[in-house]
Amino acid sequence: MLGLLAILFMAAAAAAPYPDRPGKKTVEKICGACHGLKLMEPMRRTRAAWQTSIDDMLTRGMKAEESEIEEAVNYFARYFSRLNINKATAAEIADVLDLPAPQAEALVRYREKNGPIPNYDALEKVPGLDAKKLSEQRDRIAFRQAAF
């Protein structure tokens, strides 16, 4: 029984990196053709960094329509980005971390009133946030500007 659970967990983990959402087929088409998608699984970048990466791939011969480029950047920004919780707008927090708008707005109000949030432990204590949902995305949350 334990072996079956381990297999199911590994299968779920393997499927998890690329959510079946709008943009996935485009990402598979334009990115997966050359280097596969495994290369990008551990990456966490800002929207601007994803745009730069895709622009770089275009100079290396990637073929994509303008609409496909935009769709891919949006997909990566939504599911593979790292968000600076102290700089992001409420709309960015809601979109990237998939939080309800009222929670994202509460976080911004708290930050404006109390100053920057120094770390994850402090973030979990912000009133009105779903700490469980945040813990599932811990690797996507930054507290200071990072160079990536």
Phi, psi dihedral angles at 95 (to 5 degrees): -70, -55
Q: Are 78 and 21 in contact (CB under 8 A)?
A: yes
User: Is residue 7's pLDDT more than 80?
Assistant: no
Q: What is the pLDDT of residues 66-92, one digit of tens each?
A: 999 999 988 888 888 888 999 999 998
CA distance 75 to 81: 9
pTM: predicted TM-score of the whole model, two decimal places = 0.64
User: With bands split at pLDDT 50, 70 and 90, how would you rate the model's confidence at 28?
Assistant: confident
